[in-house]
């Protein structure tokens, strides 16, 4: 919330969704919202935990602005994020989804320095361009896109949505700046992304779904599947090295 409120170009509204936590989080969010201008923050609570897709879709449903962005509880935004992204979108309204790079750093660390010149690259409309998936906290997209997160998916739901947007012919682009940070490793560190085997199988199922939807041809599916397998092996190796390092430090 602080990283959103600290934007040099503040958003018109902030929507907070508590996904049926049952641990007092909802009341805490409502108390924090009272410290900001009336009406700027709206808080929603789901009666039961339904996973990230349902929570994000609820916020999407209630959003009133033409552009929306997402931020999970364990990530934060660079103060210049929305300003730089909206400048790009104002200059090129044909872009439907705009992402950027992210890094991993402690929550207490200062925002990463910007690396000029700022460059925007349009993403080619095939699945291999998602070899480094668009991080959810990096996304700004058009509210009126005819897609939503798949509420039946608890893993790879973001990969599914970005692939549907890209492969359906919508113009997607990236900025060459780190404008958001993870405060834990994006895979293998815990939570839903901690189970690498489950994450891999979820990605396999996404590719199958994209093929059934005729968004991937047979050849594209095979290449994407082989690339995904290599990526899974790489992640397992990196996670093993990281865990071994932590074991030595302990």
Flag whether 248 is in a domain. no
Q: State yes or no: pLDDT of 132 exceeds 60.
A: no
**Confidence at residue 130, expressed as pLDDT on a 0 to 100 scale:** 46
Average pLDDT for 6-14? 98
Tens-place pLDDT, residues 150-174: 999 988 899 999 999 999 999 999 9
- CATH code of residue 166: 3.90.550.10
Tens-place pLDDT, residues 202-214: 888 888 999 999 9
Number of structural domains the chain divides into? 1
Alpha-carbon distance 17 to 55, whole Å?
Answer: 6
Flag whether 95 is in a domain. yes
Alpha-carbon distance 35 to 2, whole Å?
Answer: 11
Which residues form the domain of 153?
Answer: 63-183
Flag whether 10 is in a domain. no
Q: State yes or no: pLDDT of 64 exceeds 80.
A: yes
* Nearest by Cα to 158 from 200, 203, 204: 203
Flag whether 230 is in a domain. no
Supply the DSSP string of 64-117, one letter for each residue.
-SSEEE---TTEEE-TTHHHHHHHHHHH-TTEEEEEEEEEE--TTSPPPPP-SS
Flag whether 123 is in a domain. yes
Flag whether 165 is in a domain. yes
Flag whether 221 is in a domain. no
Average pLDDT for 93-111? 96
Flag whether 84 is in a domain. yes
pTM of the predicted structure, to 2 decimals: 0.84
Left (φ > 0), alpha (ψ -120 to 50) or beta: where does 153 sit?
beta
Supply the DSSP string of 14-67, one letter for each residue.
EEEEE-S--SSHHHHHHHHHTTS-TTTEEEEE-SS---HHHHHHHHHHH--SSE
């Amino acid at each position: 919330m602080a990283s959103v409120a600290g934007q040099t170009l503040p958003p018109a509204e902030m929507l907070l969704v508590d996904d049926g936590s049952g641990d007092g989080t909802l009341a805490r969010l409502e108390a924090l919202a009272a410290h900001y201008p009336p009406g700027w923050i709206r808080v929603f609570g789901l009666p039961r935990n339904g996973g990230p897709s349902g929570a994000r879709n609820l916020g999407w449903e209630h959003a009133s602005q033409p552009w929306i962005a997402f931020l999970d509880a364990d990530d934060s935004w660079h103060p210049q994020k929305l300003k730089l992204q909206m400048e790009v979108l104002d200059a090129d309204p044909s872009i439907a989804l705009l992402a950027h790079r992210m890094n991993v750093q402690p929550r207490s660390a200062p925002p990463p320095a910007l690396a000029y010149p700022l460059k925007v690259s349009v993403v080619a409309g095939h699945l291999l361009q998602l070899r480094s998936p668009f991080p959810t906290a990096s996304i700004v997209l058009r509210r009126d896109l005819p897609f939503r997160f798949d509420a039946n998916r608890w893993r790879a739901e973001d990969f599914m949505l970005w692939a549907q947007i890209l492969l359906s012919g919508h113009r997607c682009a990236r900025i060459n700046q780190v404008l958001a940070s993870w405060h834990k490793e994006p895979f293998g560190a815990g939570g839903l992304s901690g189970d690498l085997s489950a994450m891999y199988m979820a990605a396999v199922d996404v590719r199958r779904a994209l093929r059934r939807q005729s968004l991937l041809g047979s050849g594209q599916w095979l290449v994407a599947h082989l690339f995904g397998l290599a990526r899974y092996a790489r992640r397992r190796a990196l996670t093993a090295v990281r865990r071994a390092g932590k074991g030595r430090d302990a």
